[in-house]
Amino acid sequence: MPQTERLPVSVRDILKSKAPNTRVPNFLIRYLEHIIHQDEVNAIIQQNADLFGIDFVVGGLKALDVDVQVQGLDTLPPGRYTFAGNHPLGGIDGMATGYAVYQQFPENSIYFLSNDILSHLTNLGPLFIPINKTGTKAQKRSLPQRITEAYESDRQMVIFPAGACSRRIKGKITELTWSKSFVQKSVETKRDIVPVYFEGKNSNFFYTLANIRSFLGIKINFEMLYLADEMFKQRGKTFRIVFGKPIPYQHFDGSKTYQEWANWLSQCSSDLAKQLI
């Protein structure tokens, strides 16, 4: 490949944009390229280079040979919803849930709130509102406005309020605490909320690495670097998603705080697992 040709996903370029004044050793860059499957990811991107938004998501799911079984979504009446679900995998769960929602509401399209690193996948740009935690002051100041505009739009919001994928706590795969902001923004913009449950889990290696990192008191979630590797381990699998009944935004009144409502909705999501067929 000519040196002048830029890769769709480049560890070297991402590190340069995130830490322009830091020199990262070449051996570490090569290792990171390996664990994120840079060559395989770029092959999928190049195979679907002419696709954008939800069409690119479909291409990615086909490349991974993933089958998705959906329950409860076809019973939802037309509306503007916030779909709030658990986040067991960190990749395929987002793509599959978003695609399922789009199939049911193709006239609305969807929005994700996402880690700003995913903004490097330009083919997914039409679907993402990047949560840029490391950008310029101007970018950080504009974030609340961009989020509000997304909630005020006619698109369906697909949210993973935990903000990170599940961990193994005391031997049990556990969803992390849901942030309250999606409840508040849904009430402010008069969106009903639909709890979602996605069946799936990552490898024992991922959970063990996360637990070791936590035990050592290391705050940087470096296990997240392995999420691409975890995604490729899911190739050829079948996943099940259950969509609950919409909860009117008026339900989230002053009887609970927004955080208490978020915790309640997290439990609603977990309870949907009992409905798996």
- 59-87 residue pLDDT tens: 999 999 999 999 999 999 999 999 999 99
- The pLDDT, as a whole number, for residue 113 is 82
- The pLDDT, as a whole number, for residue 114 is 75
Taking 70 as the pLDDT cut, the residues of the chain under it are 1-6, 115-120, 132-141
- From the number of C-beta atoms within 10 Å of its C-beta (0-12, 13-18, 19+), residue 212 rates as exposed
- The pLDDT, as a whole number, for residue 10 is 87
Q: What is the pTM of this model?
A: 0.88
Single-letter code of the amino acid located at 127: L
- The pLDDT, as a whole number, for residue 5 is 55
Closest CA to 167 of 231, 96, 227, 114: 227
- In the sheet that holds 238-243, the strands lie side by side as 67-71, 238-243, 192-198, 81-85, 156-159, 110-115, 128-131
- The pLDDT, as a whole number, for residue 3 is 42
Token duo for residue 132 = 């840029």
- The pLDDT, as a whole number, for residue 17 is 79
Rg (CA), the chain: 19
- Alpha-carbon distance of 176 to 167, in angstroms, equals 7
- The pLDDT, as a whole number, for residue 224 is 87
- Alpha-carbon distance of 141 to 69, in angstroms, equals 40
* Domains and their CATH numbers in the chain: 53-275 (3.40.1130.10)
SS3 221: coil
- The pLDDT, as a whole number, for residue 142 is 74
- The pLDDT, as a whole number, for residue 138 is 52
